[in-house]
Amino acid sequence: MTKSEKVADILKTLNKLYPNPQVPLDHKDAYTLLIAVLLSAQCTDIRVNKTTPALFKLADNPFDMVKLSLEEIREIIKPCGLSPMKSKGIYGLSKILIEKYNGQVPHTFEELEALPAVGHKTASVVLTQWFGIPAFPVDTHIHRLAYRWGLSNGKSVEQTEKDLKRLIPEKKWNKVHLQIIYYGREHCPARNHNWQTCSICKKYLRKELRTN
């Protein structure tokens, strides 16, 4: 079986399980999505979704966000972890959005990645999930599964992104990225994973990862 045939078979399984995957982070516009994705670093989406309502009730736009103090932001987002860094990022990027973009979230990699606390993955999520611009955000789930299934060598997140972009048609990137996240959470976890009952791993798990 060629790698392209393997990919087609994996996508077939993902499409059957998740025909219409939804963005897991609650948001109403580009700004609230940007903040939610920033908060999701080293934190679960469930925790973020429990935390953002209190924050967005006070400030769901950059103009209101900069009216809050760093201490107020940090106290609200504390359950998400890394609150000192994240609160500075939220305040700082909100200030820049007002000063440079009239409060609007820009829609290029260069502009997004120049914002405080916004890395490549965060920028990719906002671009693809809100603006519909082709991107393939790679989180820990996707990185792990791409290696397990032999779609990437797993040496770096950057390499995994390049490999998946090469193997998967661009028009499918947004959907497949969400599908793999959901599959990883529900069927292919990092720990206590029984590959023999996983519909994709039982076909494609790397030989060196197989155990009796």
Instruction: Enumerate the active-site residues.
Output: 121, 139
Helix extents (H) in the chain: 3-17, 30-39, 45-58, 62-65, 70-77, 83-101, 109-113, 120-129, 140-148, 157-167, 173-186, 201-204
Quick one: tokens of 64? 């209101």
Contacts of 30 (CB under 8 A, 6+ apart): 104, 105, 107, 126, 130, 131
Q: Give the burial class of 203: count Cβ atoms within 10 A of its Cβ; 0-12 exposed, 13-18 middle, 19 or more buried.
A: middle
DSSP secondary structure code for residue 26 in this structure = -
Contacts of 78 (CB under 8 A, 6+ apart): none
Q: What are phi and psi of 192, to 5 degrees?
A: 50, 45
- CA separation for the pair 167, 21 (Å, rounded): 20
